[in-house]
Structure 1
Amino acid sequence: MSIRFTPDEAWAFVERAHTGILTTLRADGWPVTLPVWFVVLDRTICCTTPAGTKKVARVRRDPRAAFLVESGHAWAELAAVHLTGSIAVVSDEPTESAVRQLFEAKYASSRVASDRMPSAAQRVYSDRVTLRFTPDDRILSWDNSRITLRD
């Protein structure tokens, strides 16, 4: 048996993950890698972020991106899915609405109510945009639990 996930297994693994790691590129080409909350919509990765962030500026300047989810502590438990593709700011209301609904279902119990945030944070988070990462056909994945260990 291969330690790689099938595409269906890879997407199921991604959907179960709580936090993903998004990599975008600075103007000088260096990567910036950040943890994000995300949802899966039609085998794309969607996240939201304050509109004025450098992340949004990087996405608008260069759509190349990568996305990673992983799990496991011991070597024999390590599993991950790494995707490469392009990312863009979403500008259509039906997609934004679907993403909001998916976020509410996935993260309602993890969020901080905006009225509990400091006023500066409330201002930053009040103007959000949706980003949509569309992967290419390359899925790099592994699940070390599939390796048969010798006694």
Structure 2
Amino acid sequence: MAVAQRRGRRIMMTPAELDTFLTEQRTCRVATVSADGRPHVGALWFVWDGTSLWLYSITRSRRWAELRRDPRIAVVVDDGEEYGELRGAELSGTAVFVGEAPRTGEPCPELDVPERLFAAKNFGMDEMPHDGRHAWLKLTPDAVASWDFRKLAGLGGA
């Protein structure tokens, strides 16, 4: 995973911290670009497999249509209420469509791990339920920027 962060190195997450953070979090904000150049942002559940972010999106959504036309994507995962608790990561790159769309459960070895992780994390199940409305997007980030404002306490405060 490439790290494109220059500013904020003092509050940047280590690779291990980032991996733990992305594994624990559930919701992200996904940014896409419309045909006329306007950004669109929406929230989605996701799972992190240690290398890629897996997004389970409705195939009849604006997001899906925009990514079919232009697969560039940026995703923000963040957490915290108070300023000193804020932490997060921005991942950007190209969305890859994996499996059938919409997903009905046809065999797809590449989806075995993300579906197992997603089902356990979000549904408390061993197997992924398929509703015939969603399908998978995979983001293996080209660039990552992260922040953990909790580190500021050890640097003399904000």
TM-score, with length taken from structure 1:
0.80
State the alpha-carbon separation in 2 of the partners of residues 63 and 2 from structure 1: 32
Among 143, 149, 154, the residue aligned to 1:144? 149
Q: Which residue of 2 aligns with 1:33?
A: 41
> What is the Cα deviation at residue 42 of structure 1?
4.1
Which of 65, 74, 90 is 1:57 aligned to?
A: 65
Partner residue, 1:14: 22
Displacement of 1:37 in angstroms is: 0.4
Is the 8 Å Cα contact of residues 10 and 151 (structure 2) preserved in structure 1? yes
CA contact (8 A) 1:23 1:66 kept: yes
* Higher percent of residues as strand: 1
What amino acid is the match of 1:71?
Answer: D
Structure 2 runs not aligned, ≥5 long: 1-8, 101-107
For residues 40 and 89 of structure 2, the distance between their equivalents in structure 1, rounded to whole angstroms, comes to 18
Cα 1:42–1:5 change in 2 (3 A) is closer
Deviations 1:102-144 (A, max 9, x none): 111101149xxx9xxxxxxxxxx423211111201x3211111
- Report the AA paired with residue 123 of structure 2: A
How many equivalent pairs are there? Answer: 137
Question: In structure 2, how many angstroms separate the alpha carbons of the residues matched to 1:96 and 1:63?
Answer: 19
State the shift of 1:36 in Å.
0.5
Matched, 1:84 2:84: no
Q: For structure 1, which runs of at least 5 residues remain unmatched after alignment?
A: 115-124
Pair 1:101 & 2:116 matched: yes
Q: Aligned partner of 1:87: which letter?
A: A
What per-residue deviation string (whole Å, max 9, x for no partner) do you get for residues 30-83 of structure 1?
Answer: 111111000112411112122222221111111111111111111111111111
Report the TM-score when normalising by structure 2. 0.77
- Deviating more after overlay: 61-70 vs 45-54: 45-54
Give the Cα separation in 1 of the matches to 2:59 and 2:149: 39
Mapped partners of 1:31, 1:78: distance in 2: 24
